[in-house]
Homo-oligomer: A and B are copies of this chain.
Amino acid sequence: MQMNDSVVLTLEEAGALVSSILGKAGFSEGHVRTLTWLMVSGERDGCAAHGLYRTLVCVHSLRSGKVVGDAEPEVHDQAPAIVRVDARGGYSLLAFEAGLPLLAEKARSQGLAAMAINRCVHFSALWPEIERLTDMGLVALACNPSHAWVAPAGGRVPLLGTNPIAFGWPRTGAPPYVFDFATSAVARGEIELRRRAGESIPEGWGIDAQGNPTTDPAKVLDEGAMLTFGGYKGSALSTMIELIAGPLIGDLTSLESMEYDAGAGASPYHGELVLALDPQRFLGDRAQEHLARAEAFLNAFDGTGARLPSQRRYQARERSLAEGVRIPAALHADLVALLE
């Protein structure tokens, strides 16, 4: 259904379109399925940057040889509480899905478990993976390095990635408590948008080559570095993510990932760490009582002016389920062109 310069698609229509494009481009069935789910979920939740638009990026990455379109993930039972999945150069999500049953089984039998995903190409938000775990009643944490664009607090040189961290807590009778944010002050794309628009950026987003605060997006992007959120605390957290989702799982730091990229500007190629904790094993017989206390705590946010994270996403989701998603007509045309 076309309306002026936008197109409205049901989620089914959106999924069918994305699947056809990805299949035609040469992705294997598993990657088509997981990528389609990911991009439709992003569009459904109002995250256009992680929505249907990404189909174009995925096809471009496949054509330029930056991702293996038919990579079959290999799942290794590394230790009683550790699953390791070798993504073999494919997108991360199929590797996540391949390891998920064993991760959940280990979390339930051991109490908590980790999944190390290696050698994956990563572009996606982490919340779709987090929600897969909260849907199973598990508490989840995930993080990954990216490319070294961010200077640690006090430093002049980019050593850290934008390093997202995401967390999920399953709720009863409400969507899960989920946050998913970059440990950089803002997304790199936000600074790029300001440059394109000829606008300045607020102080605190980045520094110039000498390490001084700057409001010039070009100086941050081309010569200087981005900054973390929350000063030295955010910087410390981002450093932790480099360590636990880099060397701890035998995979690249953001600096190494950037060297590997060698200026190609592709999605980071690296690893991801996922933790799953089972409240039933932590709490035994008293799980229900204590999870009800968590509900009371989260419900206390209502009416105080505070918003739980992801609320806007859940509202967009409800709307999209009822009304479908609306994308720019130009994007729709670009997508359809890939089918010709």
Contact = CB atoms under 8 A, between A and B. Distances in A.
Interface residues of A, number: 71
Interface string A104-131: 0000011111101000000000000000
A314 interface: no
B240 A305 contact: no
Interface stretch (A5-13, A25-33, A44-52, A229-237): A229-237
A243 interface: yes
A107 to B, nearest CB: 9
Contacts of A116: 282
A35 to B, nearest CB: 27
A300 interface: yes
A234 B113 CA distance: 25
Interface string A138-164: 010000000000011111110100000
In the complex, the count of this chain's copies comes to: 2
A55 to B, nearest CB: 29
Which of A109, A232, A248, A275 counts the most chain B CB atoms within 10 A? A248
Which of A183, A255, A304, A307 counts the most chain B CB atoms within 10 A? A304
Contact of A155 (B177, B234, B235, B301): B301
Contacts of A81: 80-81, 110-113
B250 A282 contact: yes
A301 B159 contact: yes
9 contacts: A79-B282, A80-B80, A154-B305, A159-B297, A167-B240, A169-B243, A183-B233, A237-B237, A246-B294
